[in-house]
Amino acid sequence: MDFWLPVEGEVTGCYFSGQGVSLYIPQSAINATVEEDILLSVDYSCHGIPTIEWKYTSNWGAQKIVEWKPGTQANISQSHKDRLCTFDNGSIQLFGVGVRDSGYYIITVTERLGSSQFGTIVLHVSEILYEDLHFVAVFLALLAAVAALLISLMWVCNKCAYKFQRKRRHKLKESTTEEIELQDVEC
């Protein structure tokens, strides 16, 4: 069995090649969030029509999730019955993944004469913490309200200061005018 790892700067992916069967996995690690649809993409080449099998292994156990021959009906496990789609190139799509879907997905491509090739894709599914997002949204709304209140208070204070200055100037002007009039009368 030959195994090639990509060199930095090349297209990321893993190539597996053996007697009669070659397997290419373009993305060997996938990060996803809950309820996302995920494509576990592979491509193979071999002589004849192979049998394709996907197994799932995680902390919760191991199980075969699907087996089929391209062009025929897939035998999908009960746990993945309504949330898995198969493709003739060996890829599968998982719909609405959850945290429990995190783990290792192992594909095995077996040709009619018995030679086979396998590869692994690691899937990590993380939860979006809506409570944290809700807290951040409420906090930002509170900050916006406080900012609006402070801006309004500054506007009111500015108006009051302007009126106070106008009154003071007006009084100062009146007192200056009275002094000038008084001075004129004395002469």
Confidence of residue 7 (pLDDT cuts 50, 70, 90): very low
101: which DSSP letter?
A: G
6: which DSSP letter?
A: P
pLDDT the model gives residue 164: 86
- Separation between Cα atoms, residue 36 and residue 32, nearest integer Å: 7
For residue 106, what are the β-bridge partners?
55, 120
- Separation between Cα atoms, residue 102 and residue 65, nearest integer Å: 14
What is the mean predicted confidence (pLDDT) over 15-37? 89
- Separation between Cα atoms, residue 62 and residue 106, nearest integer Å: 10
Q: Which residues of 74-103 are buried (b: 16+ CB within 10 A; e: fewer)?
A: bebeeebeeebebbeebbbebeebeeebbb
Q: Give CATH for domain 14-128.
A: 2.60.40.10
What is the mean predicted confidence (pLDDT) over 18-33? 90
- Separation between Cα atoms, residue 143 and residue 150, nearest integer Å: 10
> Is the pLDDT at 3 greater than 70, yes or no?
no
Span 104-134, pLDDT tens digits: 999 999 998 888 899 999 999 998 776 667 7
pLDDT the model gives residue 6: 40
Cα torsion through 105, 110, 115, 117, rounded to 10: -20
Q: In what order do the strands lie in the sheet with 84-86?
A: 38-40, 92-94, 84-86
Element (H, E) at 168: helix 130-186
Tell me if the pTM is above 0.75: no
